Amino acid sequence: MTDQQKSILNLFSLEGKTVIVTGGTGGLGAAMSIALAQAGANIVSLQLPDDPLGKTFQEEIEKLHRQFSVFECNLTDPGSIREVFASMWAAGIVPDILLNCAGTNRRGKIEDISDEDINLVLDVNLKAAYIMSQEFGKQLLTLSRPGKIIHVSSMASYIAQTNVSIYAISKAGVRHMTKALSNEWAGKGIQCNCICPG
């Protein structure tokens, strides 16, 4: 690591902060999580029990000498999400940042997208992000703590391309949800931002 990189990490230090991450085993999510850990953050990963990349992800974070915790979670099941957050609070995890990076896509013509695909994409990309934000925000408000929520949307939320209609709809919802959360919580110390790669 160069001196310049060290200087930047010191400037944006997250030493002692705890980041709850979804989608951390994926390409973008893993890169973001590793960068957060390099800046000093401890990582709490919400992932499926059979995630084939889970072990590799854990090893990458632990190589940086950061605390790493895993909670198994099915993002298509609201009950599972709420139970996981209750388990985190019961384990004494004090949250600082929520990074909603999990996402899925189903390609196809509008007339061919099945109900199953509609539900899956909306459940993972939008509904889960809302419920996690809700649970995270409630805990911060209860503790009178400031915090940050980062949602990962997509340029597809601005530019709807062919064969990704339900994905574009879900990501536009994430972008607008971020505005709604920010409107309600900014004055209470919870900062909500959305990034749109693409």
Q: What pLDDT sits at residue 57?
A: 85
For position 48, what pLDDT does the model report?
85
7-16, 29-38, 109-118: the lowest-pLDDT one: 7-16
* pLDDT score of 25: 85
Q: Cβ(191)–Cβ(148) under 8 Å?
A: yes
Q: What is the pLDDT of residue 155?
A: 94
Query: Domains in the chain, please, with CATH?
Result: 3-195 (3.40.50.720)
Phi-psi region of 179 (alpha: psi -120 to 50; beta: other; left: phi over 0): alpha
pLDDT in tens, 165-191: 999 999 999 999 999 999 999 999 999
For residue 26, is pLDDT > 90?
A: no
Taking only the tens place, the pLDDT of each residue in 103-138 is 999 999 999 999 999 999 999 999 999 999 999 999
pLDDT single digits (tens) 46-85 = 988 888 888 888 888 889 999 999 999 999 999 999 999 9
Q: Does position 5 have pLDDT exceeding 80, yes or no?
A: no
**pLDDT tens, position by position, 77-99:** 999 999 999 999 999 998 899 99
Choose the catalytic residue: 167, 168, 174, 177. Answer: 167
User: What pLDDT, on a 0 to 100 scale, did the predictor assign at position 28?
Assistant: 87
Mean pLDDT of the chain: 93
pTM for this model (two decimals): 0.92
How far is it, in rounded angstroms, from Cα 53 to Cα 73?
A: 15
Q: Is 158 a catalytic residue?
A: no
Asked if 125 and 171 touch (Cβ cutoff 8 Å), the reply is yes
Please, which residues bridge with residue 110 across strands?
A: none
- Nearest CA-CA partner of 133 in 172, 76, 95: 95
Q: Are 34 and 64 in contact (CB under 8 A)?
A: yes
- For 53, 124, 132, 160, 164, the CA distances from 170, given in Å and listed in that order, are 25, 9, 16, 11, 10
- How many other C-beta atoms can be found within 10 angstroms of the C-beta atom of residue 96? 18
5 or 135: whose pLDDT is higher?
135
Residues of the chain above pLDDT 70, percent: 99
Whether the per-residue pLDDT at 3 is higher than 90: the answer is no
159-174 in b/e form (b: 16+ CB < 10 A) is eeeeebbbbbbbbbbb
